Amino acid sequence: MKTGLSRAALRGHLPAFVGTAVAALFAAAVVSASTMMLISTSTDGVSAAARKQLTENSVGDMAAVLLIGSVYMSIFVVASTMGTAVVQQHRELALVRAIGGRPRQIRRAVAAQALAASVPAALLGFGLGGVLARLWFDGMVSHGLVPAEVTFRFSWVALPVCLGVAIVTSTLAAVLSSLRFSLLRPSRALDEASAGRRGLGFVRAPLGLIAVAGGCVLSVVLTGQPADKAGQGAFLVLILFCVGAGLLGPRIVGPAAWLVSSLVGRFGSSARLAMLNVRSQPRRFSAAVVPLVLVVGFGLTKIAMHTTAQHHTGSAGSTGEVWLDYMGTALYAGFAAIAAANTLAMISFERRRDVALLRIIGTLPRQVRAMAAWEALVVAGTALLLGTAIALATLAPILSTAFGSPWPYVPGAMLGGIGGATLLLALLATGLPVQSVLRRKLSPSA
């Protein structure tokens, strides 16, 4: 039964597992590259002069931070996409429970799905990680961070690391996502599969509130600290706010989406339908908004640090350090963008029955596409609103101590680029799956 359930799920929810595989591939590639960078920049076996340069530039510390950050983001992205893929199967899993399926059979089935999606992706990601590591290494050499005499080392040690992150994370996420649901009584499981789970849970909500409160308190404390200490603590403030947003999800995203959708709903029937969809399903859309919030919050914080310094002092900092910072920002933004795109695509494919019903009652394809575009606009607008708030709260203590003002300076072109990229990502991740659904034959049971 386990094998049959796994195969049926892979066929019926293929887009979800493709998204999981893509997330595992990207995670494995980055973790593999980060591991090879840490090994290649080791001071073992190099001359005294090269060792001094590596130590002065803190290359080893930066490589370690890059590895830790990539592992953290890998866990977040893979767990998020795998968890969403399992949640989309709740209807089928509830039916399996109703006909006598046991909880352990369901958990084994989703674990097998996770392995099927993550193992090939992790192996391919290891190879791609070697290519990515070489590009990073060459960039660090060209920017003077690594001496020219230090050579890049391709290492097989990275293989078990990226396999462990991709496989263990996806499998645990799958099992944990199905654990509570598999233990429900069949009638309760069927009810929750159709209506969705209500509330955040007894653990998730308090932890989210603690994270947000911790971020606020730490931000206030750092305002009175020297600039260097404030800068060091800012990353923790950013992480706390992002974790809080992820845990509280619908409770934070819901009000922001309500505000954005109120503005959008004035632009015709398709916009009003999009507004109603977002408001009626806050949990579903919050899963897509939260990764975008991470993209905006993290990216805007890192960019504003350098642009504000450039504006006030005429220099954004050491060329090599600035390059490395932007590389790390692009890396983390890439993680969150993949999570957001996967979630939005899964949501769009999951609603193929809704789209079919809209077509049957006479809704034109262009109206469906317009509705999807307005939904993407609401999602992107909500993410920009919350991400900007997180960035401002994170930057305030740093900028106050360094320049006497909590307000960042970011050129209009950069702001437009961040907003445009966020909207484009939401439009593509929503529009392409909807267009694929529209090509199918009309059927309410699609």
**What does each of the 446 residues of the chain score in pLDDT, given as a tens digit?**
455 555 555 555 566 667 778 878 888 888 888 888 888 888 777 888 888 888 887 777 777 777 777 777 777 777 777 777 777 676 677 777 677 777 777 778 778 878 888 888 889 989 998 998 898 888 888 888 888 888 888 889 889 888 888 888 888 877 777 776 666 666 666 565 555 555 556 677 788 888 888 888 888 887 777 766 766 677 778 778 877 877 777 777 777 777 777 777 777 777 777 777 777 776 667 777 777 887 788 888 888 888 998 888 888 777 878 887 788 778 777 877 887 787 777 777 777 777 777 777 777 788 888 888 888 888 888 889 888 988 888 888 788 888 888 899 999 998 899 899 888 988 888 888 777 777 766 554 55
Angular region, 212: left φ>0, alpha ψ -120 to 50, beta rest: alpha
On whether the CB atoms of residues 106 and 178 are closer than 8 A, the answer is yes
Q: How far apart are CA 113 and CA 109, in angstroms?
A: 6
Give, in order, the Cα–Cα distances in Å from 213 to each of 219, 253, 290, 389, 436: 10, 17, 18, 14, 43
Give the three-state DSSP class for 439.
Answer: coil
Angular region, 45: left φ>0, alpha ψ -120 to 50, beta rest: left
Give, in order, the Cα–Cα distances in Å from 2 to each of 114, 120, 246, 358: 13, 20, 32, 35
Burial code (b: 16+ CB inside 10 Å, e: under 16) for 183-210 equals ebeeeebbebbeeeeeebeeeeeeebee
Closest CA to 198 of 251, 267, 126: 251
Q: How far apart are CA 23 and CA 3, in angstroms?
A: 23
Give, in order, the Cα–Cα distances in Å from 238 to each of 329, 339, 388: 13, 18, 11
Give the three-state DSSP class for 127.
Answer: helix
Q: Which residues contact 410 (CB under 8 A, 6 or more apart)?
A: 300, 303, 304, 307, 308
Give the three-state DSSP class for 170.
Answer: helix
Q: How far apart are CA 10 and CA 4, in angstroms?
A: 10
Residue length of the chain? 446
Give, in order, the Cα–Cα distances in Å from 214 to each of 198, 219, 237, 241: 26, 8, 8, 8
Q: How far apart are CA 417 and CA 440, in angstroms?
A: 35
